[in-house]
Amino acid sequence: MSVKGYRRSIRRHRHLGSGRARTVALLLDTRLDVRQRSEALIARLEPQDLGLQGMADASPPKWHLAHTTWFFDTFLLQPHLEGYEPCDPVWSYQFNSYYEALGERHPRPQRGMLSRPAIAEILAWRQRVDNGLTRLLQDGDPALISLAELGLHHEQQHQELLLMDLLDGFSRQPLEPIYDPHADLSTVVDPTSAEWLPCAGGLTDIGYQGEGFHFDNETPRHKVWLEPFTLMSQLVSNADYLRFMADGGYQRPELWMSEGWAVLQQRGWQAPRYWRREQASEHWTQEFTLAGRQPLRPEAPVRHLSWFEADAYARWCGARLPSEAEWEVARREHGDRLLQAHRCLWQWTASPYRPYPGFQPVEGAVGEYNGKFMSSQFVLRGSCWLTPRGHERDSYRNFFPPSSRWMASGLRLAR
């Protein structure tokens, strides 16, 4: 079905006038926008870029497009759309990410070796899946609508990951390719307006509340006790972090967690992930970005830090990282005074990624989506400039291992 055909189908549903028809129409419209955006993200890339995998934790752009299509094919169309022809079982093996209940998978570190299927076949598959979703969702089954909505938010997560993975891959190339000259973060930190925002603490609630979409790990809403605390109104800047480095921040083991110090020595960390020295100089003056190599701006928020680096910096300046509950409560109490909360950088918290009290994953393979990762990771709050519009929430719980730093991560201080 063409794009115009999708739009005609949506208009027909809108004319039905019922609440369910409006829900279906909105979902189909959203589905079209989300799916088209994924394909638009690769429009700037050369064919050779589509299979680029810079490290084991990253995935090639082509794999992201295929995996998000596999999700709809596997969880929605195969079990629920009569007459639907499933994808090649080998494709299921290649594009399953971590769903153990669905069988064996291609090793993650070797996704860059998957030269086939070609991108044209993947795009044709995406079109066939989109056609199938239109047919499936027209009846307005609430359970299928809910699952399709999960699939769309899952795809938005991969849109963000695609760009962060691409930045990693491009950063490893001597030619330092430019993805988009206008793709870089433009936010600045103004030290003259920085302030500590007081929060009284006490017994309060955190977790998702409302009728809209949310991931299962954002619930149940529950009570937490917080001692009085303050949260910095702005993120830590490059200028701030340079002072930490000048004071021997990467040479002082007393500032670091033991595991973090071991990782630092093993990997030779001396600065944030994409900082670059000027040629024949010891000074960090440049940064590699999706817009290519750029001057390091002192007023910009420092980014691409591991949890270990964020924690060491906080300890160096006599502060600490906030808990995720403190972040959420401060956001609720201070609103827009908590600058760069969204559309800037994901912000490390001191909270291990663990289930909320009473958390129960959904039944079946799709229940592996979030719950199985609730170990050996830390929570990040907020969103970043690569996060798709409408995908951010104050209750959103992102999570990564503490040594990860290729993603768009920064830090905010607490006391």
| pLDDT given for residue 18 in this prediction | 62
Residue 415 lies in a domain: no
| Domain limits for position 237 | 191-410
Quote the pLDDT of residue 1. 33
Same domain membership, residue 64 and residue 33: yes
> pLDDT tens digits, residue range 155-202?
999 999 999 999 999 999 999 999 999 999 999 999 999 999 999 999
User: What's the domain count of the chain?
Assistant: 2
**Residue 244, pLDDT score:** 98
Decide if pLDDT at 15 tops 80: no
Q: Has residue 17 got a pLDDT over 90?
A: no
Residues 128 and 24 in one domain: yes
| CA distances (Å), origin 164, targets 106, 107, 211, 265, 274 | 22, 20, 30, 24, 12
Would you say residue 178 lies in a domain?
no
Beta bridge partners of 224: 204
Q: Over 80: is that where the pLDDT of 62 sits?
A: yes
Q: What is the pLDDT of residues 112-145, one digit of tens each?
A: 999 999 999 999 999 999 999 999 999 899 999 9
Say whether pLDDT at 28 is over 70.
yes
**Where a domain ends, among 171, 199, 225?**
171
Return the CATH number at 318: 3.90.1580.10
pLDDT of residue 22: 85
147, 220: one domain: no
Query: Does one domain contain both 91 and 133?
Result: yes
pLDDT of amino acid 383: 98
> In the chain, pLDDT over 90 holds for what percent of residues?
89
| Cα–Cα dist 116/88, whole Å | 12
d(CA 24, CA 84): 20
pLDDT digits (tens, 9 = 90+) for 211-261: 999 999 999 999 999 999 999 999 999 999 999 999 999 999 999 999 999
Residue 181 lies in a domain: no
Closest of 179, 133, 150, 162 to residue 63, by C-alpha: 162
pLDDT attached to residue 20: 80
Round to whole Å and give the CA distance between 120 and 126.
10
Q: Report the C-alpha gap between 382 and 389 in whole angstroms.
A: 13
Strands (DSSP E) found in 173-296: 196-199, 202-206, 222-226, 229-232, 275-277, 284-289, 292-295
Quote the pLDDT of residue 366.
87
Q: Give me the chain's average pLDDT, please.
A: 94
- The pTM of the full predicted model, rounded to 2 decimals, is 0.94
Same domain flag for 222 and 329:
yes
Residue 66, domain member (yes or no): yes
Half-sphere exposure of 349 (CA within 13 A, CB side): 24
Q: Are 257 and 352 found together in one domain? A: yes
